[in-house]
Structure 1
Amino acid sequence: MARAHPVPCRRRSRDHGGSGPVDGGRPVDLPGRLPARLVVRSRTRGRSVPLQDDHDLLRRPVGIRAGALRAHAVPLRVRGARLAAHPHSRQGGGPVTTVDAGSEAIPAPESDPNAVSVTINGRTVEAHKGEWIIAAADRAGEYIPRFCYHPRMNSVGMCRQCLVEVEGPRGPMMVVSCMTPVAEGQVVRTDTPQVKRAQEGMIELLLANHPLDCPVCDKGGECPLQDQAFSHGPGESRFVEEKRHYEKPIPISEIVYLDRERCILCDRCTRFADDVAGDALIQFTQRGNNTQVMTFPDEPFASYFSGNTVQICPVGALTAKPFRFKARPWDLEQRESTCTTCSVGCRTVVQSSRDEIVRVQGVDSDPVNWGWLCDRGRFDFQSVNSGDRVLVPLVRRDGALATATWADALDEVATHLRGAGASTAILGGARGTNEDAFMWGRLADALGCTMRDAQLDDGLPAEVLAMPQATIDEACSAATVVLVAPDLKEELPVLHLRLRDAAMKKRIRIIEISAVETALTALAWRSVRCEPGTQPEAVAELLTDAAVMTQLASGSTVVVAGRANLAESASHTMSAVESLLAAAPAASVLPVLRRANVRGALSLGLAPRDGRDAATILHDAAEGRIECLVLLGSDPLSDVPDADLARRALAGARFVVSIDAFLSPSAAHADVVLPAAVAGEKDGTTTNLEGRVTGTAQKVTAPGTARTDWMIAAELAEMLGHDFGVATLVDVRRAMESGAPGWGEATSRLANDVDGVVVRRAPAAAHPVRRTAPGARNSHEFRLVLARKLYDSAIATRTSPALASLAPGAGIAVHPLDLERIGAVAGEPVRVVAGERAVVLPVSVSARVPRGTALSPFNQPGADIRELVRGTGALDVSIEVP
């Protein structure tokens, strides 16, 4: 008979004679695996080999060779208490670990009263009424093989690999455990001869048309089909006919490749795209033996979440271009960390080979990201490996930046800081760690500097953190969520997934107040279109609706608040949020913060003092009142909405220091550039938008002579005569314990609380926001909405080859009727005018933009529409055909 050999570099199963790796094969005793009672079965002679379970790469990616950095291998998490809250999807609801920094801790939920008793393989197990058998078995440590089942998606019973035996009135019967709920007194067996034969038969069918090209497959070494072919397969195949053949691989997007020959039709990728992401761009086509996964003609798999389908694919049918043929899983070293692309703080595993980051995988953090990542967070690690990094300090000599030693560069900076004193201003710090922000805050205090802001006048003011705060889980379990925020799919994609799931499965009611339609509009209970700059008026009108007031009073309410339009004042949003909190006094706020560690930086010393925020700092610098301007990982020329103000500020400051990993447009205008280490190159902690402190891990060595931000601050402080007694990261954290109540304790508890620790402060007394009135509409025809897109001209995107081509580019979109009225043609250039200023942009048509409104993406390749923005309440423009 023909024999099936699905795993490369190993002998046939009849030759296995031990429990260790065979012929260089992948080790079987990796950390985080299931118990060794799970064995490789074979009809041939030889001892059994313990099974290594992949756990869908959901909780922990695995694949490190035995003994290779075992201390860094991330152990499997078991969250029985949390899984109890939602038996089918195992969604959040577990207790939130908090640190009391002036407020009460969050109470843990009560236990599930609907427990049932089930017997699995002779052992009594407490399960939850309605829970699938496979989920109950997982929690009990009884492994059932599977391919299509995924705990974060609806079950479909496609692969039939999870067959088990259940006793019924007519005797034992075979059932699919991912589609059969538990019941009181139920008896389940997973290891009877009948079950084994059924599982072997399913493996044989799946391998009948599988190409068995494991030696050249990127999934080799971490493939569930490989593992289960050895543990639950027949050991030989009766199939001798020609297998199916397709063109392979085919690119279905800029990032993902599809190999249809390897596909086992498990429906994971299509379910994720349709049910989780809402991007039904990949589907089954044809029927019967010709069924295959495919995208639609001329419509690529252009989803912001396509990398998740690669991670959850149980075979090598979907592979990611950045990782193809880079390394074998057993050669990878890994550490758990936190994504720093945005402020959601998704948990990740950073994997490297030969001191180079080669892959980032999502980790199932129950209160945060559930294992999902957006493609930007998953693939922008390539910027860390970029050849454009600043490797040594640069000092401006004779009008040009020239290389210098650290001693000379720091001496230059210290000299100007000493002379500037209180006339020093610090912009940025939100891209660093908590430890970085804390040390720079202490240095600012030592200098008497009150001009500091971790934001760049592109978010809500720091006062939003003084409002009652909510967590992501609280927002997703609230009765009502009010969105006064940008399109979350563009700015905080994983928060968008969480709220989308809550709206579809938990039926939370979303009230949306926005100038344009967003990705959540279709799921909103109420969706209000308001003219840019009129959010307070829209809220006031909304609160006159009796049904809305009844809904706000029916249960918990969370206001998701963020700055949706960079062409208008943030005061409009703040005023609208205050009105909502006044109408629903028990409501809380989940702030949409723009950068990874905005909350940590603002809380640890880089918040504005005396109202001197980023806008004030830039105005003072433009008028020559700033002696020394420190750009702490910030790029005002790219990120400040008012481009003219940013240019004048950099030109007006007497001395500019940039601490950055790249020579950004702003760094190119600095007098001194100090190379900084980035995420993946330094240990530390970060604080996400809900106040959750989590760890970031160093996985590779920083290039050149790059240093961490906190280290630079400590050295400058010592040169200025302020010895903080800090030489190591441990010293910084010890100082935080006394200097930053809450954060120091949270950091010390991370070793036991791998999902992070929420730091909360008591809400401060409300201070009315001074609103910048938008003014009456002038003779211009359109009011502008300037919004961010997931992909833009940010350096991390431009220097990541997988993402560099995904930015949509500069342009302006209007309603179809408005396009017809102005006589323009979609795709053709138009002249956008505001006062005496004008830019030429291609025009497009979009029904999601109301009439009288124009929508333009922020910081895109091409003409810069920020040239029209000034710090006013709102921006009106005219659109003319050249």
Structure 2
Amino acid sequence: MTVEKDEKKGQTQPPADQARPPEELVTFSIDDIETSVPKGTLVIRAAEELGIDIPRFCDHPLLDPAGACRQCMVDVVDDGRGRQMPKPQTSCTLTAMPGMKVRTQYTSPVAEKAQRGMIEFLLINHPLDCPICDKGGECPLQNQAMSTGDGESRYEGEKRTYPKPINISSQVLLDRERCILCARCTRFSEQIAGDPFIALAERGALQQVAIYEKEPFESYFSGNTIQICPVGALTSSAYRFRSRPFDLVSTHTTCENCASGCDLRVDHRRGTVMRRMAGNDPEVNEEWNCDRGRFGFVSGRGDDRITTPLVRRGDELLPASWPEAIDAAVAGLQKAGKDVGVLTGGRLTVEDAYAYSRFARVGLGTNNIDFRARAHSAEETDFLANAVAGTGLGVTYAELERAKHVVLVGFEPEDESPIVFLRLRKAMRKKGLKVTTIAPFLSRGSQKLNATLVSAVPGGEPQALASVDLDGDTVVLVGERAAEIPGLLTMVLDTTGRSGARMAWIPRRAGERGAVEAGCLPHLLPGGRPLSDPAARVDAQAVWGADVPARVGLDATGMFNAVLAGELGALVVAGVEPEDFPKPRIALEALEEAGFVLSLEARESSVTARADVVLPISLLEERSGTFIDWEGRERPVHNVIPKKHVMTDGRALAALTDALGAPAAPRTVSAAKAEFDEFGPWSGNRAAEPRVAGSTAIEVGPGEAVLSTWRDLLDDSRCLDGEDALLGTAQRPVVAMGPTMAADAPEGALVEVSRGQRSVTLPLKIVENMASGCVWLPAHARGHNLSTELEATAGDLVRLDMIEPEASEGDGPEGAASVSTEGTK
């Protein structure tokens, strides 16, 4: 599909000749108010458009109609054919018809009586203990009982009770006597998330929410069932009975846990965040979010929080004042003498990422800057400069829903961008979207998308992509893991360029797209300006008031190697975890060997332990700014809680810039954003497109396999420290292999995976569609980090040995049997 560019907004718009055809309208009346709505509209939706509030419990605009609670009944005095319907109808399942006349509780005694009767029926067994219920104060049943129900109950029997609570999962608790059987939770799980692990069991008065005995409710989206529950039946184990809704102050912001850009409602009390909920943004996350974004906010709020600057004196890091720490940092950077490297990480707002980009060039006079605390390559650097930076709003969520074919390349949406997964699943269910995934096997998420597998052992993805039919109705979604495969990003540009398919790059971290736009790469300036272009450097010099070094800098791997070679004297590190790199040992050695390390961090880490100066940085809820999501859409970050004794990264870097004697940097978020916006997108020539030969086939010997790996959504990330209830729903670490390779080994048997002198032992999971000669392990499962345990990444050869049940520790080779790799070469 061709697109037209909105130069003012930097956004792509559908051309006029591809506008949608006008919708067929239906005219009818509600409470004697005539209205016209698109054909197929439900009466309850039409009433909402008119501002008429019809009470409901089971209805939700993003779920299929159920008519389960019967609370939304209306009186149809004319069905459009001159006949009155003999009894009240549920407006959440009633489709508007031409000439229909509907009366709600406001104009019909019949509708009012039906609604009052349903409220009375629902309250027969429902406990009347609103003051202690978690939902009290924000409960639709409570509100409607007051507005629609009677003041006194006629029921004189004994209310039904159950033992409570029931653990639906480690995160979600169920109080069965509060449940009104609206089926919102079960419909969400089945229709939206694709996790039908909860269901309504039994019949009649015995009906209740239940879980499958052999299938625990391990969903990445379980928290949404708590939020959409119209009563206090489902609660969070982390929030249960911790606060009252009327004690909370709510602030909307953007989630920092991935690049989806979800709107969040943060509820806080007395300076402490109590809970986070999904905000309503139809263009992005609709009304959903993942459990990581909802529950994963405890990290950094514990005893390891850094609230005062630290300066190393001898072997100890000791508290210091801000002026002392700034002076020590400047002295250390200047004393290092040699060049300096800047590692920014991928979780910064665009304003803070821009501050690092500016500080490196203006304050330190270097282009040694990289945000990628992960596997990366020179090919990816060129790809980001050519196809991502400065391109504005590209493929959107809405366009994903309209696409006829989506191809996933090095990308598992459920694990790496959950809202993208939900949108793809929605399009698959409602519009028949075809999804193709280029991967070693069909993951859990790909199965829920009914994806077609194009099997590829790591390294073979370029050839696999070349075999897929692409056209103008296709969208190719490329994950950050594509950087690990030589030639894959080049193939993406070639195939999409030839076919007219559209492409979007979706990183895992919330700040990566913004870091690209801000120029946190060694050969890229803000707005996608190539450092090699003199005109691009002139643009930067005009904004910054300082010369920009022309020499291309080092990427993160290059910086580590340069430190170990004695060619780089100091490192400035912000929010980077060495364990995230393919070779953490090298990263840690570089931190040990660097002449000077300046860390800007919110909590103690392996970096701060090796730093010479540590500057405390504010948490996300303590700052404001902007994230740029994978679409290229700006997403607002609002200050939730006033910060104390800490600064944003940008404010600290401005102080360092002044102390270094460089031209003054912006001191506020708004000033930094205004200066960043001065750059605008680059309109000149781009750098040369990457041209990298595809990788060669790997010979797999007896007992060997090619390693495939990626990170699960809920993993060993430090961002999830302290979230034991949330991590209880994480996927269990396994070794996944095909039936041929597993031979006669039973599922659950222990397999030792080794590389050189390093090894990890995990239970076996047999996967029917695994690529021949390939084995999969989670990259950062809880308690297992492949980058530290194996020092291995995707595409590496590993050895597999089955641990015999009778083998004991120390048995050595006699206790292990090689896994079959017959026919896998």
Normalising by structure 1, what TM-score?
0.81
Following superposition, the deviation at residue 812 of structure 1 comes to 2.8
Structure 2 residue runs without a partner (length 5+): 389-393, 524-551, 804-815, 817-825
Q: What is the one-letter code of the residue matched to 1:853?
A: C
Give, in whole Å, the separation in 2 of the partners of 1:324 and 1:197: 36
Following superposition, the deviation at residue 671 of structure 1 comes to 2.0
Residues 251 and 265 in structure 2, CA contact (< 8 A), matched pair in contact too:
yes
Match of 2:717 among 788, 794, 799: 794
Following superposition, the deviation at residue 576 of structure 1 comes to 3.5
Match of 2:52 among 103, 123, 142: 142
Give, in whole Å, the separation in 2 of the partners of 1:815 and 1:159: 46
* Structural mapping, 1:552-591, within 5 Å: 552-553=470-471, 555-564=472-481, 569-584=484-499, 586-591=500-505
Following superposition, the deviation at residue 769 of structure 1 comes to 3.3
Residues 531 and 783 in structure 1, CA contact (< 8 A), matched pair in contact too:
yes
Q: What is the one-letter code of the residue matched to 1:500?
A: R
1:208 paired with 2:208, answer no
Match of 1:176 among 71, 83, 90: 90
Residues 814 and 854 in structure 1, CA contact (< 8 A), matched pair in contact too:
yes
Paired position in structure 1 for 2:609: 668
1:777 paired with 2:699, answer yes
1:820 paired with 2:820, answer no
Residues 650 and 667 in structure 2, CA contact (< 8 A), matched pair in contact too:
no
Provide closer, same or farther for how the CA distance between residues 687 and 102 of structure 1 changes in structure 2, counting only shifts above 3 A.
Answer: closer
Paired position in structure 2 for 1:698: 639
Of stretches 617-626 and 791-800 in structure 1, the one that deviates more from structure 2 is: 617-626
Give, in whole Å, the separation in 2 of the partners of 1:290 and 1:865: 48
Query: What SS does the corresponding residue of 1:456 show, helix, strand or coil?
Result: coil
Give, in whole Å, the separation in 2 of the partners of 1:820 and 1:285: 39
CA-based RMSD? 2.7
Residues 102 and 762 in structure 1, CA contact (< 8 A), matched pair in contact too:
no
1:528 paired with 2:454, answer yes
Give, in whole Å, the separation in 2 of the partners of 1:99 and 1:358: 42
Following superposition, the deviation at residue 406 of structure 1 comes to 1.8
Q: What is the one-letter code of the residue matched to 2:506?
A: V
Following superposition, the deviation at residue 443 of structure 1 comes to 0.9
Paired position in structure 1 for 2:32: 122
Residues 472 and 590 in structure 1, CA contact (< 8 A), matched pair in contact too:
no
Residues 754 and 790 in structure 2, CA contact (< 8 A), matched pair in contact too:
no
Provide closer, same or farther for how the CA distance between residues 861 and 604 of structure 1 changes in structure 2, counting only shifts above 3 A.
Answer: same
Q: What is the one-letter code of the residue matched to 1:627?
A: G
Query: What SS does the corresponding residue of 2:114 show, helix, strand or coil?
Result: helix
Paired position in structure 2 for 1:359: 275
Paired position in structure 2 for 1:719: 659
Provide closer, same or farther for how the CA distance between residues 563 and 598 of structure 1 changes in structure 2, counting only shifts above 3 A.
Answer: closer
Residues 24 and 39 in structure 2, CA contact (< 8 A), matched pair in contact too:
yes
Give, in whole Å, the separation in 1 of the partners of 2:288 and 2:199: 20
1:874 paired with 2:795, answer yes
Following superposition, the deviation at residue 171 of structure 1 comes to 2.8
Give, in whole Å, the separation in 2 of the partners of 1:98 and 1:342: 27
Residues 219 and 729 in structure 2, CA contact (< 8 A), matched pair in contact too:
no
Paired position in structure 2 for 1:68: none
Following superposition, the deviation at residue 394 of structure 1 comes to 2.1
Residues 253 and 638 in structure 2, CA contact (< 8 A), matched pair in contact too:
yes
Query: What SS does the corresponding residue of 1:414 show, helix, strand or coil?
Result: helix
* Structural mapping, 1:470-619, within 5 Å: 470-518=395-443, 519-521=445-447, 523-524=449-450, 526-540=452-466, 542-543=467-468, 548=469, 552-553=470-471, 555-564=472-481, 569-584=484-499, 586-609=500-523, 610=552, 612-619=554-561
Q: What is the one-letter code of the residue matched to 2:332?
A: H
Aligned residues: 753
Query: What SS does the corresponding residue of 1:695 show, helix, strand or coil?
Result: strand
Query: What SS does the corresponding residue of 2:253 show, helix, strand or coil?
Result: strand
Q: What is the one-letter code of the residue matched to 2:440?
A: A
Residues 371 and 515 in structure 2, CA contact (< 8 A), matched pair in contact too:
yes
Give, in whole Å, the separation in 1 of the partners of 2:85 and 2:9: 57
Provide closer, same or farther for how the CA distance between residues 683 and 872 of structure 1 changes in structure 2, counting only shifts above 3 A.
Answer: closer
Query: What SS does the corresponding residue of 2:275 show, helix, strand or coil?
Result: strand
Q: What is the one-letter code of the residue matched to 2:416?
A: E
* Structural mapping, 1:388-399, within 5 Å: 388-399=304-315
Match of 2:564 among 618, 622, 636: 622
1:844 paired with 2:784, answer no
Give, in whole Å, the separation in 2 of the partners of 1:366 and 1:463: 34
Match of 1:440 among 352, 356, 359: 356
Query: What SS does the corresponding residue of 1:627 show, helix, strand or coil?
Result: strand
* Structural mapping, 1:90-129, within 5 Å: 100=8, 105=13, 110=20, 112-129=22-39
* Structural mapping, 1:2-41, within 5 Å: none
Paired position in structure 1 for 2:650: 710
Following superposition, the deviation at residue 106 of structure 1 comes to 5.2
Give, in whole Å, the separation in 2 of the partners of 1:608 and 1:602: 11
Following superposition, the deviation at residue 864 of structure 1 comes to 3.6
Provide closer, same or farther for how the CA distance between residues 281 and 230 of structure 1 changes in structure 2, counting only shifts above 3 A.
Answer: same
Structure 1 residue runs without a partner (length 5+): 1-94, 743-759
Q: What is the one-letter code of the residue matched to 1:786?
A: T
Residues 423 and 628 in structure 1, CA contact (< 8 A), matched pair in contact too:
yes
Give, in whole Å, the separation in 1 of the partners of 2:556 and 2:174: 47
1:428 paired with 2:344, answer yes
Provide closer, same or farther for how the CA distance between residues 367 and 99 of structure 1 changes in structure 2, counting only shifts above 3 A.
Answer: farther
Q: Matched residues, percent identical?
A: 36
Paired position in structure 1 for 2:71: 161
Residues 462 and 694 in structure 2, CA contact (< 8 A), matched pair in contact too:
no
Following superposition, the deviation at residue 102 of structure 1 comes to 6.0
